[in-house]
Structure 1
Protein backbone atom coordinates (compact mmCIF):
# COMPACT_ATOMS: atom_id res chain seq x y z
CA UNK A 1 0.00 0.00 0.00
CA UNK A 2 2.76 2.44 0.95
CA UNK A 3 4.62 1.70 -2.28
CA UNK A 4 1.44 2.28 -4.31
CA UNK A 5 0.74 5.58 -2.58
CA UNK A 6 4.32 6.70 -3.12
CA UNK A 7 4.05 5.85 -6.82
CA UNK A 8 1.02 8.14 -6.97
CA UNK A 9 3.03 10.98 -5.41
CA UNK A 10 1.22 10.65 -2.08
CA UNK A 11 3.25 10.67 1.12
CA UNK A 12 1.59 8.44 3.71
CA UNK A 13 1.28 9.78 7.26
CA UNK A 14 1.01 7.26 10.08
CA UNK A 15 -1.37 8.51 12.78
CA UNK A 16 -0.44 8.14 16.44
CA UNK A 17 2.25 5.44 16.14
CA UNK A 18 2.89 5.82 19.87
CA UNK A 19 -0.51 4.16 20.44
CA UNK A 20 -0.20 1.44 17.78
CA UNK A 21 0.30 -1.96 19.45
CA UNK A 22 2.39 -3.41 16.61
CA UNK A 23 4.68 -0.38 16.46
CA UNK A 24 4.98 -0.29 20.24
CA UNK A 25 6.00 -3.96 20.26
CA UNK A 26 8.44 -3.44 17.39
CA UNK A 27 9.39 0.23 17.09
CA UNK A 28 11.88 -0.64 14.36
CA UNK A 29 8.80 -0.95 12.10
CA UNK A 30 8.31 2.80 12.32
CA UNK A 31 12.01 3.31 11.65
CA UNK A 32 11.77 1.23 8.47
CA UNK A 33 8.70 3.16 7.35
CA UNK A 34 10.48 6.45 7.99
CA UNK A 35 13.44 5.23 5.93
CA UNK A 36 10.98 4.66 3.08
CA UNK A 37 9.76 8.26 3.30
CA UNK A 38 6.64 7.71 5.36
CA UNK A 39 5.77 10.50 7.80
CA UNK A 40 4.16 10.13 11.21
CA UNK A 41 2.15 12.34 13.53
CA UNK A 42 2.16 12.12 17.29
CA UNK A 43 -1.00 12.92 19.21
CA UNK A 44 -0.80 16.03 21.39
CA UNK A 45 -2.46 14.29 24.34
CA UNK A 46 0.09 11.47 24.11
CA UNK A 47 2.92 13.97 24.51
CA UNK A 48 1.32 15.53 27.58
CA UNK A 49 0.61 12.20 29.25
CA UNK A 50 -3.16 11.86 28.93
CA UNK A 51 -2.83 8.25 27.78
CA UNK A 52 -0.40 7.39 30.58
CA UNK A 53 3.33 7.39 31.20
CA UNK A 54 4.12 4.54 28.82
CA UNK A 55 2.50 6.24 25.83
CA UNK A 56 4.10 9.55 26.76
CA UNK A 57 7.57 7.96 26.97
CA UNK A 58 7.03 6.24 23.63
CA UNK A 59 5.83 9.48 22.02
CA UNK A 60 8.86 11.37 23.31
CA UNK A 61 11.21 8.62 22.17
CA UNK A 62 9.76 8.74 18.66
CA UNK A 63 10.19 12.53 18.62
CA UNK A 64 13.81 12.26 19.78
CA UNK A 65 14.53 9.59 17.16
CA UNK A 66 13.12 11.82 14.39
CA UNK A 67 10.39 9.31 13.61
CA UNK A 68 7.46 11.73 13.89
CA UNK A 69 7.27 15.02 12.07
CA UNK A 70 4.02 16.66 13.19
CA UNK A 71 1.74 16.93 16.22
CA UNK A 72 -1.98 16.40 15.75
CA UNK A 73 -4.84 17.35 18.05
CA UNK A 74 -6.82 14.10 17.64
CA UNK A 75 -9.76 16.26 18.66
CA UNK A 76 -12.18 14.93 16.06
CA UNK A 77 -14.66 14.19 18.86
CA UNK A 78 -14.27 17.17 21.16
CA UNK A 79 -16.83 15.87 23.65
CA UNK A 80 -14.55 13.02 24.71
CA UNK A 81 -11.13 14.36 23.73
CA UNK A 82 -9.17 17.33 24.94
CA UNK A 83 -7.43 19.81 22.70
CA UNK A 84 -3.87 19.88 24.03
CA UNK A 85 -1.85 21.48 21.25
CA UNK A 86 -0.48 24.32 23.39
CA UNK A 87 0.59 21.92 26.12
CA UNK A 88 2.10 19.56 23.55
CA UNK A 89 4.22 22.39 22.12
CA UNK A 90 5.33 23.21 25.67
CA UNK A 91 6.48 19.60 26.06
CA UNK A 92 8.33 19.84 22.74
CA UNK A 93 10.03 23.03 23.97
CA UNK A 94 11.11 21.28 27.17
CA UNK A 95 12.57 18.44 25.09
CA UNK A 96 14.45 20.70 22.65
CA UNK A 97 13.96 24.39 21.97
CA UNK A 98 14.17 23.72 18.21
CA UNK A 99 11.32 21.21 18.13
CA UNK A 100 8.35 23.61 18.17
CA UNK A 101 9.49 25.55 15.12
CA UNK A 102 10.39 22.34 13.27
CA UNK A 103 7.01 20.74 14.00
CA UNK A 104 5.08 23.90 13.08
CA UNK A 105 7.01 24.22 9.81
CA UNK A 106 6.42 20.56 9.03
CA UNK A 107 2.67 20.93 9.62
CA UNK A 108 2.50 23.96 7.35
CA UNK A 109 4.55 22.26 4.65
CA UNK A 110 2.46 19.10 4.86
CA UNK A 111 -0.77 21.09 4.46
CA UNK A 112 0.71 22.97 1.51
CA UNK A 113 1.90 19.79 -0.19
CA UNK A 114 5.53 20.81 0.14
CA UNK A 115 8.48 18.55 0.83
CA UNK A 116 9.16 17.97 4.51
CA UNK A 117 12.71 17.91 5.77
CA UNK A 118 12.63 14.86 8.03
CA UNK A 119 16.18 15.32 9.20
CA UNK A 120 18.13 12.50 10.77
CA UNK A 121 16.29 9.43 12.00
CA UNK A 122 17.62 7.08 14.65
CA UNK A 123 16.60 3.51 15.37
CA UNK A 124 14.47 3.50 18.53
CA UNK A 125 15.44 1.24 21.36
CA UNK A 126 13.70 -2.09 21.75
CA UNK A 127 10.33 -1.78 23.39
CA UNK A 128 9.89 -2.66 27.02
CA UNK A 129 8.51 -6.08 27.91
CA UNK A 130 5.36 -4.85 29.62
CA UNK A 131 2.65 -3.01 27.73
CA UNK A 132 -0.95 -2.64 28.75
CA UNK A 133 -3.09 -0.87 26.17
Structure 2
Protein backbone atom coordinates (compact mmCIF):
# COMPACT_ATOMS: atom_id res chain seq x y z
CA UNK A 1 0.00 0.00 0.00
CA UNK A 2 1.01 3.59 -0.62
CA UNK A 3 0.06 6.48 1.65
CA UNK A 4 -0.07 9.78 -0.24
CA UNK A 5 -0.82 12.10 2.72
CA UNK A 6 1.20 11.83 5.90
CA UNK A 7 2.93 13.93 8.56
CA UNK A 8 5.78 11.57 9.42
CA UNK A 9 8.72 13.97 9.10
CA UNK A 10 9.96 14.89 12.59
CA UNK A 11 9.93 18.40 14.02
CA UNK A 12 8.39 20.15 11.00
CA UNK A 13 4.73 20.59 11.89
CA UNK A 14 2.11 18.98 14.13
CA UNK A 15 3.42 15.48 13.42
CA UNK A 16 6.14 13.76 15.47
CA UNK A 17 8.59 16.05 17.20
CA UNK A 18 11.38 13.50 17.72
CA UNK A 19 13.11 11.13 15.31
CA UNK A 20 12.18 8.11 17.43
CA UNK A 21 8.51 9.08 17.21
CA UNK A 22 8.79 9.24 13.41
CA UNK A 23 10.43 5.82 13.39
CA UNK A 24 7.62 4.48 15.55
CA UNK A 25 5.17 5.74 12.94
CA UNK A 26 7.24 4.06 10.22
CA UNK A 27 7.19 0.76 12.09
CA UNK A 28 3.43 1.00 12.49
CA UNK A 29 2.96 1.74 8.79
CA UNK A 30 5.24 -1.11 7.73
CA UNK A 31 3.45 -3.57 10.01
CA UNK A 32 0.19 -2.70 8.27
CA UNK A 33 1.57 -3.36 4.79
CA UNK A 34 2.47 0.19 3.74
CA UNK A 35 5.62 0.28 1.61
CA UNK A 36 5.75 3.93 0.49
CA UNK A 37 4.76 7.11 2.32
CA UNK A 38 4.50 10.52 0.72
CA UNK A 39 5.55 12.90 3.47
CA UNK A 40 3.31 15.96 3.28
CA UNK A 41 4.13 18.49 6.00
CA UNK A 42 2.02 21.63 6.16
CA UNK A 43 3.25 24.51 4.03
CA UNK A 44 2.03 28.12 3.86
CA UNK A 45 -0.04 27.24 6.92
CA UNK A 46 -0.70 29.93 9.55
CA UNK A 47 1.48 27.95 11.96
CA UNK A 48 3.90 26.06 9.71
CA UNK A 49 6.06 26.83 6.70
CA UNK A 50 8.03 24.03 5.06
CA UNK A 51 9.44 24.96 1.65
CA UNK A 52 10.68 22.42 -0.87
CA UNK A 53 14.34 22.43 0.18
CA UNK A 54 13.49 21.85 3.84
CA UNK A 55 11.19 18.94 3.00
CA UNK A 56 13.71 17.27 0.70
CA UNK A 57 16.40 17.47 3.38
CA UNK A 58 14.05 15.94 5.98
CA UNK A 59 13.00 13.16 3.59
CA UNK A 60 16.63 12.21 2.91
CA UNK A 61 17.37 12.20 6.63
CA UNK A 62 14.44 9.94 7.51
CA UNK A 63 15.18 7.55 4.65
CA UNK A 64 18.72 7.20 6.01
CA UNK A 65 17.30 6.36 9.42
CA UNK A 66 15.02 3.72 7.88
CA UNK A 67 17.97 2.11 6.07
CA UNK A 68 19.73 1.76 9.41
CA UNK A 69 16.63 -0.02 10.70
CA UNK A 70 16.69 -2.30 7.62
CA UNK A 71 13.04 -1.42 7.06
CA UNK A 72 11.72 -1.91 3.51
CA UNK A 73 9.80 1.35 3.59
CA UNK A 74 10.55 4.49 1.59
CA UNK A 75 9.61 8.10 2.23
CA UNK A 76 8.73 10.22 -0.79
CA UNK A 77 8.56 14.03 -0.89
CA UNK A 78 5.42 16.13 -0.92
CA UNK A 79 3.61 18.94 0.87
CA UNK A 80 0.14 19.79 2.12
CA UNK A 81 -0.08 23.35 0.80
CA UNK A 82 -2.59 25.80 2.22
CA UNK A 83 -4.43 27.44 -0.65
CA UNK A 84 -3.21 30.89 -1.65
CA UNK A 85 -3.14 33.05 -4.72
CA UNK A 86 0.64 32.61 -4.92
CA UNK A 87 0.69 28.81 -5.34
CA UNK A 88 1.66 28.83 -9.02
CA UNK A 89 4.36 31.44 -8.49
CA UNK A 90 5.71 29.54 -5.48
CA UNK A 91 5.79 26.31 -7.49
CA UNK A 92 7.65 28.02 -10.32
CA UNK A 93 10.11 29.41 -7.76
CA UNK A 94 10.78 25.89 -6.41
CA UNK A 95 9.14 26.54 -3.05
CA UNK A 96 6.34 24.00 -3.56
CA UNK A 97 6.58 20.25 -4.19
CA UNK A 98 4.28 18.19 -6.34
CA UNK A 99 3.58 14.67 -5.08
CA UNK A 100 6.85 12.73 -5.34
CA UNK A 101 8.24 15.60 -7.45
CA UNK A 102 6.44 14.17 -10.47
CA UNK A 103 5.31 17.56 -11.76
CA UNK A 104 1.68 16.44 -11.86
CA UNK A 105 -0.29 16.59 -8.60
CA UNK A 106 -0.44 19.28 -5.89
CA UNK A 107 -2.07 18.54 -2.53
CA UNK A 108 -4.04 21.63 -1.52
CA UNK A 109 -5.68 22.30 1.85
CA UNK A 110 -8.60 24.67 2.38
CA UNK A 111 -9.26 26.49 5.65
CA UNK A 112 -11.48 24.23 7.75
CA UNK A 113 -14.51 26.51 7.66
CA UNK A 114 -14.79 27.71 4.05
CA UNK A 115 -13.71 27.46 0.42
CA UNK A 116 -12.09 30.71 -0.78
CA UNK A 117 -14.02 32.51 -3.51
CA UNK A 118 -11.04 32.59 -5.85
CA UNK A 119 -10.64 28.78 -5.80
CA UNK A 120 -12.30 28.05 -9.15
CA UNK A 121 -10.13 30.57 -10.99
CA UNK A 122 -6.97 29.44 -9.20
CA UNK A 123 -7.66 25.78 -9.96
CA UNK A 124 -8.22 26.65 -13.62
CA UNK A 125 -4.88 28.48 -13.72
CA UNK A 126 -3.14 25.58 -11.96
CA UNK A 127 -4.40 23.18 -14.60
CA UNK A 128 -3.42 25.51 -17.43
CA UNK A 129 0.11 25.42 -15.97
CA UNK A 130 0.10 21.62 -16.32
CA UNK A 131 -0.66 20.58 -12.75
CA UNK A 132 -3.71 18.98 -11.13
CA UNK A 133 -4.99 20.31 -7.79
CA UNK A 134 -5.91 17.62 -5.24
CA UNK A 135 -8.18 18.84 -2.44
CA UNK A 136 -7.23 17.14 0.83
CA UNK A 137 -9.86 15.99 3.34
CA UNK A 138 -12.86 17.85 1.81
CA UNK A 139 -15.15 15.82 4.08
CA UNK A 140 -13.93 17.89 7.03
CA UNK A 141 -14.55 21.31 5.47
CA UNK A 142 -17.67 22.88 6.99
CA UNK A 143 -18.72 24.74 3.82
CA UNK A 144 -18.46 21.59 1.72
CA UNK A 145 -20.40 19.64 4.34
CA UNK A 146 -23.19 22.21 4.19
CA UNK A 147 -23.03 22.61 0.42
CA UNK A 148 -21.51 19.59 -1.37
CA UNK A 149 -22.10 21.28 -4.72
CA UNK A 150 -19.03 23.42 -3.97
CA UNK A 151 -16.92 20.28 -4.25
CA UNK A 152 -18.92 18.95 -7.19
CA UNK A 153 -18.22 22.08 -9.24
CA UNK A 154 -14.50 21.90 -8.49
CA UNK A 155 -14.28 18.22 -9.40
CA UNK A 156 -16.33 18.78 -12.54
CA UNK A 157 -13.80 21.46 -13.42
CA UNK A 158 -10.91 18.97 -13.23
CA UNK A 159 -9.81 18.96 -9.59
CA UNK A 160 -9.41 15.76 -7.60
CA UNK A 161 -9.97 15.13 -3.92
CA UNK A 162 -8.49 12.90 -1.25
CA UNK A 163 -10.62 11.52 1.56
CA UNK A 164 -9.06 10.68 4.93
CA UNK A 165 -8.86 7.01 5.93
CA UNK A 166 -9.97 7.80 9.46
CA UNK A 167 -13.03 9.66 8.17
CA UNK A 168 -14.17 6.61 6.20
CA UNK A 169 -14.08 4.35 9.25
CA UNK A 170 -15.79 6.81 11.58
CA UNK A 171 -12.86 8.17 13.57
CA UNK A 172 -14.12 11.72 13.07
CA UNK A 173 -17.70 10.86 13.93
CA UNK A 174 -20.63 9.17 12.23
CA UNK A 175 -21.74 12.22 10.25
CA UNK A 176 -18.35 12.75 8.64
CA UNK A 177 -18.10 8.99 8.10
CA UNK A 178 -21.36 8.89 6.17
CA UNK A 179 -20.49 12.02 4.23
CA UNK A 180 -17.12 10.53 3.27
CA UNK A 181 -18.82 7.45 1.87
CA UNK A 182 -21.16 9.65 -0.13
CA UNK A 183 -18.21 11.49 -1.62
CA UNK A 184 -16.72 8.17 -2.72
CA UNK A 185 -20.05 6.91 -4.06
CA UNK A 186 -20.64 10.14 -6.00
CA UNK A 187 -17.21 10.20 -7.64
CA UNK A 188 -16.24 13.29 -5.64
CA UNK A 189 -13.25 11.69 -3.93
CA UNK A 190 -10.66 9.69 -5.82
CA UNK A 191 -7.94 8.60 -3.43
CA UNK A 192 -7.44 7.74 0.25
CA UNK A 193 -4.68 9.08 2.48
CA UNK A 194 -4.05 8.40 6.15
CA UNK A 195 -3.21 11.98 7.20
CA UNK A 196 -1.42 10.23 10.06
CA UNK A 197 0.31 12.39 12.65
CA UNK A 198 1.21 9.78 15.28
CA UNK A 199 0.44 6.19 16.29
CA UNK A 200 -2.22 7.00 18.90
CA UNK A 201 -4.85 9.62 18.15
CA UNK A 202 -4.06 10.10 14.43
CA UNK A 203 -2.59 6.81 13.27
CA UNK A 204 -2.61 4.69 10.12
CA UNK A 205 -5.83 2.96 9.16
CA UNK A 206 -5.50 2.62 5.39
CA UNK A 207 -6.30 -1.07 5.28
CA UNK A 208 -9.46 -0.55 7.32
CA UNK A 209 -10.49 2.29 5.01
CA UNK A 210 -9.99 0.15 1.91
CA UNK A 211 -11.97 -2.66 3.53
CA UNK A 212 -14.78 -0.19 4.21
CA UNK A 213 -14.82 0.86 0.54
CA UNK A 214 -14.93 -2.80 -0.48
CA UNK A 215 -17.75 -3.58 1.96
CA UNK A 216 -19.81 -0.62 0.76
CA UNK A 217 -19.07 -0.54 -2.98
CA UNK A 218 -17.29 -3.77 -3.96
CA UNK A 219 -13.78 -5.02 -4.64
CA UNK A 220 -13.55 -3.19 -7.97
CA UNK A 221 -13.75 0.28 -6.46
CA UNK A 222 -11.36 -0.69 -3.70
CA UNK A 223 -8.81 -1.80 -6.28
CA UNK A 224 -9.24 1.46 -8.19
CA UNK A 225 -8.58 3.49 -5.06
CA UNK A 226 -5.52 1.45 -4.14
CA UNK A 227 -4.15 1.73 -7.68
CA UNK A 228 -4.83 5.47 -7.72
CA UNK A 229 -2.25 5.93 -4.96
CA UNK A 230 0.34 4.21 -7.12
CA UNK A 231 -0.68 6.21 -10.19
CA UNK A 232 -0.49 9.49 -8.28
CA UNK A 233 3.03 8.73 -7.07
CA UNK A 234 4.03 7.85 -10.65
CA UNK A 235 2.45 11.00 -12.05
CA UNK A 236 -0.01 9.05 -14.19
CA UNK A 237 -3.74 9.59 -14.81
CA UNK A 238 -6.02 8.19 -12.10
CA UNK A 239 -9.08 5.99 -12.45
CA UNK A 240 -12.03 8.34 -12.09
CA UNK A 241 -15.77 7.79 -11.70
CA UNK A 242 -17.99 10.43 -13.33
CA UNK A 243 -18.87 12.97 -10.61
CA UNK A 244 -22.52 13.36 -9.65
CA UNK A 245 -24.08 15.86 -7.24
CA UNK A 246 -25.09 14.58 -3.85
CA UNK A 247 -28.87 14.72 -3.86
CA UNK A 248 -30.27 17.09 -1.27
CA UNK A 249 -32.69 14.53 0.17
CA UNK A 250 -29.93 12.03 0.82
CA UNK A 251 -27.58 14.72 2.06
CA UNK A 252 -30.05 15.95 4.64
CA UNK A 253 -30.38 12.39 5.83
CA UNK A 254 -26.82 12.64 7.13
CA UNK A 255 -27.92 14.95 9.91
Q: Which residue of 1 aligns with 2:227?
A: 105
Residues 20-52 of structure 1: CA distance to partner in whole angstroms, max 9, x if unpaired?
Answer: 111111101111111111000000000000011
Aligned length: 131
Mapped pair 1:28 → 2:152: no
> Is contact 1:27-1:125 (8 Å) kept?
no
Q: Provide the C-alpha distance between the structure 2 equivalents of 1:111 and 1:41, rounded to a whole number of angstroms.
A: 14
Instruction: State the structure with bigger RCO (CA 8 A, min sep 6), 1 or 2.
Output: 1
Alignment of 1:58-97 (within 5 A): 58-97=179-218
Q: Which residue of 1 aligns with 2:247?
A: 125
Q: Provide the C-alpha distance between the structure 2 equivalents of 1:76 and 1:111, rounded to a whole number of angstroms.
A: 20
**Where do 4+ consecutive residues of structure 1 move more than 4 Å?**
none
Q: Provide the C-alpha distance between the structure 2 equivalents of 1:3 and 1:93, rounded to a whole number of angstroms.
A: 33
> Is contact 1:27-1:124 (8 Å) kept?
yes
Greater CA radius of gyration, 1 or 2? 2
1:76 deviates by 3.3
Gaps of 5+ in 1: none
Deviates more, 1:51-60 or 1:76-85: 76-85
Gaps of 5+ in 2: 1-121
Distance 1:4 1:69, change over 3 A: same
Q: Which residue of 1 aligns with 2:178?
A: 57
Give the RMSD, CA atoms, in angstroms: 1.7
Q: Which residue of 1 aligns with 2:82?
A: none
Residues 92-115 of structure 1: CA distance to partner in whole angstroms, max 9, x if unpaired?
Answer: 110122121010111111111111
Mapped pair 1:2 → 2:123: yes
Mapped pair 1:37 → 2:158: yes
Q: Provide the C-alpha distance between the structure 2 equivalents of 1:48 and 1:65, rounded to a whole number of angstroms.
A: 18
Instruction: Select the structure that is richer in strand.
Output: 2
Q: Provide the C-alpha distance between the structure 1 equivalents of 2:197 and 2:123, rounded to a whole number of angstroms.
A: 25
